[in-house]
């Protein structure tokens, strides 16, 4: 279950990336959205299987061909001092200079979240809005229960309608990069 530890009132103290770094290693994912701390339990085994299968295909098509890097959780993605998330999978294309020694600072080219009961509302709500606001060009929501990926692509400043994919999903950031979903489920 997602647990919020700090709900700042308007104009009150908001947590920062530095505060997040002070949390002890406890096997859980810690994030800060608009200065509010969120903690989630470790993912279940099926979630982790999907989290291996998708990056494997992306790695072959993107990293091995020199288009960029595929990074899986846990890694902090910092948009602002008060917005730090840990997506399941990210892609950073060559030329997008946002990878630092300690974290990703800025918008990855692709963010992928794999839904699980404790995080699904946040992944499809506040985190989707956060990715859109900070200009993440493409966002995939992987729904293990439906064996489906919903792909959102920025059209100007907002995400267009979701493309629902069950057989394969194309990554708009690199021509001909496709994840064969029949090899994922």
158-171 pLDDT, tens per residue? 999 999 999 999 99
The Cα 119–Cα 29 span in angstroms is: 11
pLDDT at residue number 26: 77
Residue 27 has a pLDDT of 72
All structural domains of the chain with their residue ranges: 44-183
Query: Residue 4: what pLDDT?
Result: 41
The pTM is what?
Answer: 0.87
pLDDT, averaged across the chain: 90
What burial class does residue 84 get, using C-beta atoms within 10 Å of its C-beta: 0-12 exposed, 13-18 middle, 19+ buried? buried
At 58-109, the pLDDT tens digits run 999 999 999 999 999 999 999 999 999 999 999 999 999 999 999 999 999 9
Residues β-bridged to residue 143: 148
Among candidates 120, 178, 129, which has minimal Cα distance to 158? 129
Listed range (21-30, 85-94, 123-132) with the worst mean pLDDT? 21-30
Per the CB < 8 A criterion, the answer to whether 144 and 50 are in contact is yes
Confidence of residue 11 (pLDDT cuts 50, 70, 90): low
CATH fold of 44-183 reads tt1808, chain A (3.90.1570)
pLDDT in tens, 37-52: 887 777 888 888 899 9
The pLDDT, as a whole number, for residue 32 is 86
């Amino acid at each position: 279950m997602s647990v919020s530890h700090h709900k700042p009132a308007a104009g009150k103290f908001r947590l920062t990336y530095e505060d997040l770094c002070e949390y002890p290693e406890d096997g859980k994912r810690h994030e800060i959205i608009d200065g509010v701390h969120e903690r989630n339990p470790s993912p279940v085994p099926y979630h982790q299987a999907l989290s291996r299968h998708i990056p494997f295909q992306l790695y072959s098509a993107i990293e091995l061909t020199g288009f960029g890097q595929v990074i899986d959780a846990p890694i902090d993605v910092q948009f602002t001092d008060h917005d730090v998330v840990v997506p399941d999978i990210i892609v950073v294309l060559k030329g997008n200079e946002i990878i630092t020694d300690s974290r990703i600072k800025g918008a990855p080219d692709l963010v992928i979240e794999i839904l699980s009961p404790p995080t699904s509302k946040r992944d499809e709500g506040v985190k989707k809005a956060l990715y859109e606001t900070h200009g993440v060009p493409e966002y995939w929501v992987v729904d293990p229960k439906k064996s489906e990926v919903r792909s959102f692509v920025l059209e100007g400043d907002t995400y267009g309608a979701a493309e629902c994919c069950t057989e394969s999903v194309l990554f708009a950031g690199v021509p001909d990069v496709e994840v064969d979903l029949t090899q994922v489920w």
